[in-house]
Amino acid sequence: MNFSSLRTFLVIVETGNLNKAAARLNVTQSTVTARLDALELSLGQKLLVRSRKGAKLTRAGFIFRPYAETLMRGWEQSQNAVGLSKGYSGLFSFACEYDLWESVGRAYFDWARETNPDLAHEAWPGSPDDIATWLANGLTDAALTLEPVVGQGLISTVTAQERLLLVSPKPQDFDTEMADYIYVDLGPEFRRQHTNKAPFEERAAVTYASSAWALDHLLREGGKAYLPLGAVTPKLSDGTLHIVTGAPEFSRGIHFTVREQSKTQFPWLDTSAFLLTSLASKVPQSTVPIP
């Protein structure tokens, strides 16, 4: 369906005249005529009776009009959904694994927005598989993940090691019995370290795959759990949470992946800029940059 022809038909119906429609659309009358002819030919029906006095709907045109209006509304909505807002020179698309948003992802996205006000920005949460597909297909420009994303045209770098600490609402020393322990799946690297450390061999009574959900549990019901330092720093600062004294500390790598084409389009995506500007200034307590 040619949407120019469709719009032309609707403007003719609205104005009642091919000349007025041409003026409204800022095209010649011959263009209006050609578009209407093409639309009628594709439908196999005459939609308008044309005369010197104007243009009137035929029976087929009367039936077709509401469908044409629906099609145009859908087309305009789709353009708004995928198009840029006025005043922006481009669109930067950022993806982040769910569990990295609170501790690092939000800080990086805020930094990107603040330092590039001429761009429109979008942020998408996703699983590792989702993000790998989006990067490969060019749907997103850069991403933060817990594992490297490998593929043609992708540059993946470990930007920092995020500290994972055992925290609890009550001050306490490390208890080898781990009563009220809540297991939080903080990614493959954490799982490997956790498995090799006693006394974590016994299964916890409660397991979460989200730091945010585990934090909510701690605040509502108590217990203790490993959480990213960046996600709990405010709670540690105001005394709502406490680091469990003597508990082993873990870490996980934060991987920053950029599409080569996007790096050409957005030079500020350079990894060193990300390290110095985002990690160092936005979340200094949550990450330890790798030398």
For the chain, the helix, strand and coil percentages under 3-state DSSP, each to the nearest 5: 45, 25, 30
Adjacent-strand bridge partners of 57: 48
pLDDT over 60 (residue 31): yes
Which DSSP string do the residues of 138-203 spell out, in sequence order?
TS-SEEEESS----TTEEEEEEEEEEEEEEESS--B--TT-TTEEEE---HHHHHHHHTSTTTTSP
Contact 168, 218 (CB under 8 A): yes
- State the pLDDT at residue 281: 39
In this prediction, residue 204 has a pLDDT band, given cuts at 50, 70 and 90, of confident
Secondary structure class of 213 (helix, strand, coil): helix
pLDDT of residue 203: 67
Measured between alpha carbons, how far is 280 from 129 in angstroms, rounded to an integer?
29
Residue with tokens 């045209």: 153
| Beta strands 154-168; 224-228: pairing state | antiparallel
pLDDT at 77: 60
pLDDT over 80 (residue 253) = yes
Mean pLDDT of 28-38: 89
* pLDDT of res. 288: 34
CB half-sphere exposure, 240, CA atoms < 13 A: 13
pLDDT band at 278; cut points 50, 70, 90: very low
Average pLDDT value over all residues in the chain: 83
Q: What is the pLDDT of residue 222?
A: 93
291 band by pLDDT with thresholds 50, 70 and 90: very low
Q: What is the pLDDT of residue 202?
A: 61
Given a cut of 80, whether residue 249 has pLDDT beyond it is yes
* 33-50 CB burial, b ≥16 within 10 A, e <16: bebbeebbeeeeeebbee
**Token pair 């694994």 is at which residue?**
97
What are the tens digits of pLDDT across the range 151-174? Answer: 888 988 887 788 899 999 999 888
**Structure-token match 């080569």, residue found:** 260
Per-residue pLDDT of 58-89, as tens digits, reads 999 999 998 888 888 777 666 655 666 667 78
Q: Based on DSSP, count helices (H) and strands (E) in the chain, helices before strands.
A: 12, 12
Closest by CA position to 167, among listed 96, 252, 237: 237
Summarised one tens digit per residue, pLDDT across range 255-264 is 889 988 888 8
209: which DSSP letter? S
For the residues of 36-97, what is the DSSP string, one character each? HHHHHHHHTS--EEEETTEEEE-HHHHHHHHHHHHHHHHHHHHHHHHSPPTT-SEEEEEEEE
Average pLDDT over every residue of 201-221: 87
- Nearest-CA neighbor of 241 among 174, 147, 184, 165? 165
pLDDT value at 230 more than 90: no
pLDDT at 176: 64
**pLDDT at position 200:** 62
pLDDT at 109 over 50: yes
Predicted pLDDT at 102: 81
Q: Domains plus CATH for the chain?
A: 3-82 (1.10.10.10), 90-291 (3.40.190.290)
d(Cα 250, Cα 89) in Å, to the nearest integer?
42
